[in-house]
Amino acid sequence: MRLALLLALCCVFATAQGQEETCRSADEDPYLLFGTKTAYTFANKGIPVTKLHDVPGCQPIAIWMLNRHGSHNPEADELADLQKLVLFKNNVIINYRNGNFRNTNLRMCMSDVNMLERWEWNSRQNITFAGDLTSDGYISTQQLAQAWKQKFPGLLTDNVHDYLFKYVNDQRSSTTFRAFTEGLFRAQADNIDISKESDEKLLRPYKFCPSWNADVEENAETLTQQRTFESKQEFKDMISNISRRLGFNYDIEREVLHSMYEMCRYNKAWSVTQISPWCAVFTKEDLKRLEYSEDLMTYYKYGYGSPKNQEIGCTGVKDMMEFFKTHVDNEKPQQPRAIVHFTEAQMLLLTLQALGARRDTAPLTGDNYHTAVAQSRKWSSSAMSPFNANLAAVLYKCTPNSNFQINDPYQVLFLENERPLYLEECRVGLCNWTFVKNRFGLIADNCNLNFCNGAPKVQGILGFSLVLIVLTKVIY
């Protein structure tokens, strides 16, 4: 009661001084795209109601899927920094109690401050549950499996022999597998004899590639563009404004800024209908800048910004092509009919760039944030790799002369987060098998990880050079 009265007096004083307070929690149109920690429902609003997966004259005979896990608890190495927000929050409340707001018109409104004061650290966020799925992440994974089954009831059946599941070897992927299969079969995965295997080299090839790690992952130059962007005066001004909004007369440390942003986007992923008090710290433009900073990181670590990503991102494409060729080369129906993978955001991004998807007309850089290319960029980690992100390719067998638009007996429909994936020479994600075989078969045929340990890869280098030439001609 006393704090509320003091805050009310502060607000009256601010009004008298002509200062303006901002109320983020009351925003009816908040910014909800938070890079790789975006909730699936925010990244995938408005799934087309038209049944684009129904291709006249064609029947789906096989599906290949790559899935990211749902929302999860903070990682073990994040816990200490995030828990420091408890003390930091107390200091913010003290600032508001003492009226520490000289030379600023960016103070939070009283409801935002009260909401922040009520925030407490969840004791369940501890080392025991670190990194594992949240209850929301588990449920959303079940729901996603059910949505896919509704789209392809004749393909995703109750017959467990129609499936092969592959996953990475960690608790989060195991939990995701259990949630997804429960959504498919409406039963506990432990009670069903499901074909499954761990395939780390397929689904996390970067974990086994010293060369890529040295040249890309751990190379300081990989983050040059991100550092350039964060060194801009407007980024520094953003930190200053946030600091003043919280009542500090000095700039907060970037580690604290990062922790507040992490807590904001975790909160919104864990409970999409609730308001996060930490999100109220940021303006929409603040959130867009932080999102772009992460996009610069993913673009150079896992996207088109580093040439070696072409070589290591091919394993998923190779797996898909081998699976589809088995079905195309055999007249009789083959099993499995569905291969479902569970992996990480990095693998989804690497696979999308290997497919030549979401390629912008100019590279993303630390200097071009305000350009049209950057503001309407295709490479967006919020859209490409939110929680529960997925990439699917569906192989169709078509009846001759049944569809005047189709002149190939086999078609492949590419879907990203249940939406058609735009690829050159394809129609709303639907591609002729001949095109798929020629374009992605070339990538698959030249895909190996020999270069990872420094072994010579003359043929591979020539092969990928040819692939890059082909992709450049196709895309541009």
What is the Cα gyration radius of the chain? 25
From CA 124, how far away is CA 74, in angstroms rounded?
10
Confidence of residue 5 (pLDDT cuts 50, 70, 90): very low
Confidence of residue 48 (pLDDT cuts 50, 70, 90): low
Instruction: Give percent of the chain above pLDDT 90.
Output: 74
Over residues 297-338, the pLDDT tens digits come to: 999 999 999 999 989 999 999 999 999 999 999 988 899 999
pLDDT at 68 (0 to 100): 97
When the pLDDT of each residue in the chain is averaged and rounded to a whole number, the result is 88
Q: In a 3-state reduction of DSSP, which class is residue 412?
A: strand
Confidence of residue 119 (pLDDT cuts 50, 70, 90): very high
- pTM here is 0.89
The answer to whether the Cα torsion of 329, 331, 336, 337 is positive or negative is: positive
From CA 345, how far away is CA 384, in angstroms rounded?
9
Q: In a 3-state reduction of DSSP, which class is residue 435?
A: helix
pLDDT at 101 (0 to 100): 72
Q: Which two tokens stand for residue 68?
A: 């990211």
From CA 144, how far away is CA 47, in angstroms rounded?
12
Question: How distant, in Å, are the alpha carbons of 56, 163, 217, 324, 415 from that of 397?
Answer: 11, 19, 41, 11, 17
Residue 449 has, within 13 A of its CA and on its CB side, a CA count of 22
pLDDT at 261 (0 to 100): 98
Over residues 425-435, the pLDDT tens digits come to: 899 999 999 99
- With 70 as the cut, is the pLDDT of residue 212 above it? yes
CA neighbor of 303 nearest in space, from 364, 353, 371: 353
Residue 208 has, within 13 A of its CA and on its CB side, a CA count of 14
- What are phi and psi for residue 108, nearest 5 degrees? -75, 155
Q: Which position has the higher pLDDT, 358 or 194?
A: 358
pLDDT at 331 (0 to 100): 84
CA neighbor of 414 nearest in space, from 425, 403, 401: 425
Q: Which position has the higher pLDDT, 441 or 15?
A: 441
Residue 192 has, within 13 A of its CA and on its CB side, a CA count of 22
Confidence of residue 189 (pLDDT cuts 50, 70, 90): low
- With 70 as the cut, is the pLDDT of residue 102 above it? no
pLDDT at 193 (0 to 100): 81
Confidence of residue 25 (pLDDT cuts 50, 70, 90): confident
- With 70 as the cut, is the pLDDT of residue 11 above it? no
Confidence of residue 404 (pLDDT cuts 50, 70, 90): low
Confidence of residue 104 (pLDDT cuts 50, 70, 90): low
pLDDT at 461 (0 to 100): 42
From CA 446, how far away is CA 207, in angstroms rounded?
20
Confidence of residue 106 (pLDDT cuts 50, 70, 90): confident
Confidence of residue 223 (pLDDT cuts 50, 70, 90): very high
pLDDT at 319 (0 to 100): 97
Q: Which position has the higher pLDDT, 346 or 169?
A: 346
Check: CB of residue 97 under 8 Å from CB of residue 3: yes
Over residues 225-242, the pLDDT tens digits come to: 999 999 999 999 999 999
pLDDT at 10 (0 to 100): 45
Q: Which two tokens stand for residue 247?
A: 């009542």
Rounded average pLDDT over 184-209: 86
